[in-house]
Structure formats: C-alpha cells, structure tokens
Amino acid sequence: MTGPPGPVTRPHPDHTAKSPTTQRRESAMPPIDRSDRDAARAEHSLLAELQPVVEENLHRHHEVAKEWFPHEYIPWSQGRDFEGPLDGAAWEPAEATLPEVARTSLVVNLLTEDNLPGYHFAVAEFGRDGAWGNWVNRWTAEEARHGTALRDYLLVTRAVDPRALERARMAHMEGGYDRPDGFSAVHAIAYAAFQELATRISHRNTGLASTDPVCDALLARIAADENLHMVFYRNLVEAAFELAPDTAMEVVRDVVTGFEMPGSTIKDFGRKSAEIALAGIYDLRLHHDSVVMPILRKLRVFEREGLGPAGEAAREELAGFLSKLDSQATSFTDRREGIRASRAKRAAAMAS
C-alpha cells in the first residue's frame, strides 16, 4: 500500500486505528498565531537545509535502483477477453483461485496506488524545482509502475471481478486526497519513511499469502522498490535530526502516534484491514516490531542527546505511546490465536 503522507493527527494515547471514510476530507486552516508562524518558518528553513541531502540521496537512488518492466511479470498467456464490446467471457467467481485474503490485500494495495495523482499533487506542493522536484517525479513514476503491474496481474489472471474493481477505483478516486492542515514537508518526509516500510512488508506478505509464485515474484519486485523509497526518506529524517533535533523529534512523535495507511479512505477499509491483520499480512505486531521500532533504532531516537524541552517532551510522549502500542499488539495476537482456533474447530465440525 503505497502513497505519500496520510493524515497525521494527535490521537488519544489509546488510538490505534481511525474509522475509514469515503468522504473527501474538508477542513479550514485555523488562524495562525505567532508561534505557528515561527514553527512554519523553522520548518521551511529546515527543508532548505535538507536540499543537499535530498540531492545526495537522489543520486544514490539512481545508482542502486534497478530498471524493470511490469509486462515481464504478467502471465499474459492466461488472459482472455471479457464480456462487452469484444464479446468475451463474463467473469465468474470460480475463476478467483487466489485465497480470499490475498485478493483483498491486492485490491487494497491497488486502490491505494490508484490515488497517486492526489498524492503527487500534495507532495509536490512542497517544491517542484531542484532535487526535491526531481525526486517527487521519480517516486511518482515508480509508484505508477506498481499500480500498472498490479492491475494487469489481477485482470489477466481473472483474480477479481473487473467491474467491481473499476467501480471501487472510481469511488476511491472521487473521494480525493487532502493534505491535512498543519502537515509540513518534514512531516511528509517522516511519514513516508514509516509508510514505505509498512508497504514493503504488506507486499511481501501478500505475495506469500497468494500461494501463486507469479504473484509472489511480482510483489517481491515491487517491495524492493518500496524499500529503496524507505531508505531515501529515512536518510532525510536522520539528517533532520542533526540539523534540528527538537523539530525532528516532534515530527516523529506526530507521525508515529497518528499513523494510518494512505488507503484508509477505501470503502470498508476497516473490515478489509481486519481480514488482512487476522491473516498476519499486516497487523499491530508487525507494525510495532518490523516498522516503527527498526526505524526509531536507526534514527537513534532514544539515544540522542542535546534535546531541548520540546524535544524531550515529544520523546517522552512517544515512549509512552510505544509501550501502549506494544501491549495492544500482544493483546491482538492473543485474540487472533483464539479466533483462529475457533475457526479451525468450526471447519473441522463442518467437514465431519
């Protein structure tokens, strides 16, 4: 599930997920007081100071990124015309041979990619020139490639109802994407570091859940791109800590405590994400252990010295949130085991 920054809000400490909505988010920017103006100037200055780091990491990305072609990963020989002007065969549910949860995860991933135009517009607002503008264009091109490949795979293999998929795409894109009020460029960078790693894990586990070697290979290729995106953004956050540690700490606090995936506005996202979590494709335990904590360790968030009062307060709040997130992840894992056991028992009873 790729995409640029989703909403970052300051949730209640027990907050772990937001209710999905298919409505376009509308909000009015509140009056900016002097402290807000000072903060905005500080973050604008920080973004300017990060430009050399952006350029350095853009060059690095070009050096390590591998060219690949979506059409080489699609089993075109399986394709047939669909009903319609070409008088092909109508889609039948029996043709969906992938496990249901794998199909659900693939569709969520694809619909998230479909909203790429909105993401690009939001991120490009922070600058269209220089290294940052070049990076945004490169990132957009790579993410668009992911959407192309996912849709081709789903349609060629008849893994999902093509009409339902198109209707879902239309509904999701008509909902639009709005960058949240107060969401700075530094927030965007930090959010993307966590989100790209989450996406990589989701893609890899979806591929494994598919039980289809072709799907697994495609998602592994996409996941490799997402990992490079994560490294790019993480390196920028690391540089931000060196330049403005208090600001960086507050931003990381905001992002981690308010994190949600950019596809959260997809219709029935709550139900779909619950299915995905129950299958172990992406859940709270993975989010805590494999996304949040590795990045925080790399950034040395809890080892850094020289923070001011604001930075120390943000770090303390972050630590408290992580403790609760860890407990919630453990509780979810325990509940999931019970649910799986109950389902297995029912399945055995029905089979006997």
- Token pair of 333, please? 């894992």
- Give pLDDT, residue 116: 64
- Give pLDDT, residue 30: 35
Instruction: Report the C-alpha gap between 192 and 117 in whole angstroms.
Output: 16
- Report pTM: 0.85
Report whether 196 belongs to an annotated binding site: yes
- Give pLDDT, residue 39: 61
Give the mean pLDDT per block of 10 residues along the chain (352 residues): 39 34 32 50 78 95 97 97 93 95 96 70 63 89 94 98 94 74 81 93 98 98 97 97 95 93 83 94 97 98 96 98 97 88 76 74
Report whether 143 belongs to an annotated binding site: yes
Residue ranges of domains in the chain: 55-351
Coil, helix or strand for 300?
coil
DSSP per-residue string spanning 30-70? PPP-HHHHHHHHHHHHHHHHHHHHHHHHHHHHHHHPPP--G
- Give pLDDT, residue 54: 93
Instruction: Report the C-alpha gap between 245 and 237 in whole angstroms.
Output: 10
- Give pLDDT, residue 22: 31
Which residue is listed with tokens 């640029």?
A: 4
| Helix 130-156 and helix 162-175, axial crossing angle in degrees, nearest 10 | 150
Report whether 67 belongs to an annotated binding site: no
- Give pLDDT, residue 27: 31
Report whether 229 belongs to an annotated binding site: yes
- Give pLDDT, residue 123: 65
- Give pLDDT, residue 10: 38
Report whether 146 belongs to an annotated binding site: yes
- Give pLDDT, residue 142: 94
CATH class (in words) of the domain with range 55-351? mainly alpha
- Give pLDDT, residue 125: 60
